[in-house]
Amino acid sequence: MFLLIEITTSLVGHSDSNGSEDTGHLTVTFAYNFWENVNSRGPSLRFGTGHIYNNYYDNMNDCINIRKGAKALVENNVFAGSSAKGLYSVDGTGKAQASGNDFGKASNSIGSTTLSMKYKYSLKNAGDVASYVKSNAGAIL
């Protein structure tokens, strides 16, 4: 007997029908995360604005899902070991400005937008993301 467990990780915006409350109030940044052996939602973003940069995705089915009118700036992420949906919009209403990403076998099928962040940050080159994130993500004691 086998037990199949599908793990999903991060959902921003709690309901597809909550746009009137969430629109304009959800802003989130995901940086330097190591997403491994996860089914989906790395992250999934509804109604808000996201900044997703320098993350490492390994062996995932569905990585970054921008939907329900959300927008995201997606920079210098690395997608390895999978032919997953790397960056997409399940309903076609999400948009992203994507640059510097290494999609590997993963797809990038989302519509584009122009977006910038109002804070300072520095990017790792995509070629350095895997080693940096694997060494530094999570609890370091």
- Active-site positions? 41
Q: Give the DSSP per-residue string, the chain.
A: -------B--EESS-TT-HHHHTTT-EEEEES-EEES--B-SSEEESSEEEEES-EEES-SEEEEEETT-EEEEES-EEES---EEEE-TTS--EEEEES-B-TT-EE-PEE-----SS---PPPHHHHHHHHHHHSS---
